[in-house]
A and B are shown apart, each in its own frame.
Chain A
Amino acid sequence: AQKITQTQPGMFVQEKEAVTLDCTYDTSDPSYGLFWYKQPSSGEMIFLIYQGSYDQQNATEGRYSLNFQKARKSANLVISASQLGDSAMYFCAMGRRALTFGSGTRLQVQP
């Protein structure tokens, strides 16, 4: 069985600062993907970034980067230069086809 743990129910960050959202996972699969999604108040799930378990380098997509530490089974999301529009729920997920999601972190960006 796979499990995702997001220990931060809510986070605050000042506009233009960086923020790290924590995610730890547990799986016995040797090959898996790690994903981060953003869910604004409008409800749609927006794909942000992907990290493969075999990838040697941390994934980056614009202002998003994934701090992947395989030995510690963590896949933290770093958002640089936060913007007001980043305020949303953020979900960490893992899997190859059926994704297992964490319970999410609500990020609020303050002006």
Chain B
Amino acid sequence: DTGVSQDPRHKITKRGQNVTFRCDPISEHNRLYWYRQTLGQGPEFLTYFQNEAQLEKSRLLSDRFSAERPKGSFSTLEIQRTEQGDSAMYLCASSPQNPSNRIGGARGGSEQYFGPGTRLTVT
């Protein structure tokens, strides 16, 4: 399987605990994204990396959240002092920097391929 993988698939934790999620992107993709999806809503952007550089962060990403991509390959998302409001599906996606066969090149962005997600439940 050469798609995006995420680990763990499910995580149940008690309020106040720290949790860490891992994402392995498609190997030739240099862009990696994190999103959060709550029940009945579309995904919300959290942050993205180009190679190892974190280039954009949403204001949803409070000080308790931190993401890394140390070698430009896999990424981790850590939530410290979890709260019940952190309960959600955390989705990772990856994309190539320069999509091929695209009229106008990459001006309109690249399609993002999503992993299966990590469902976090904070009790």
Contact = CB atoms under 8 A, between A and B. Distances in A.
Interface of A: 4, 31-35, 37, 43-47, 50-56, 91, 93, 95-104
Contact of B112 (A4, A43, A99): A99
Interface residues of B, number: 31
Contacts of A56: 103
Given A44-B116, A52-B103, A98-B48, A33 B42 contact: no
B16 to A, nearest CB: 27
A50 B109 CA distance: 9
Interface string B92-115: 010000000011100111111111
Contacts of A99: 33, 35, 43, 45, 109, 112
Interface class of chain B by DSSP: loop
Contacts of B67: none
Interface of B: 31, 33, 35, 40-45, 48, 55-56, 58, 89, 91, 93, 102-104, 107-117, 119
Contact of B58 (A4, A52, A98): A98
Nearest 9 Cβ contacts at the A-B interface: A101-B42, A52-B108, A33-B108, A33-B109, A96-B109, A45-B114, A98-B45, A54-B104, A31-B107
B111 A97 contact: no
B117 A43 contact: yes
B104 A98 contact: no
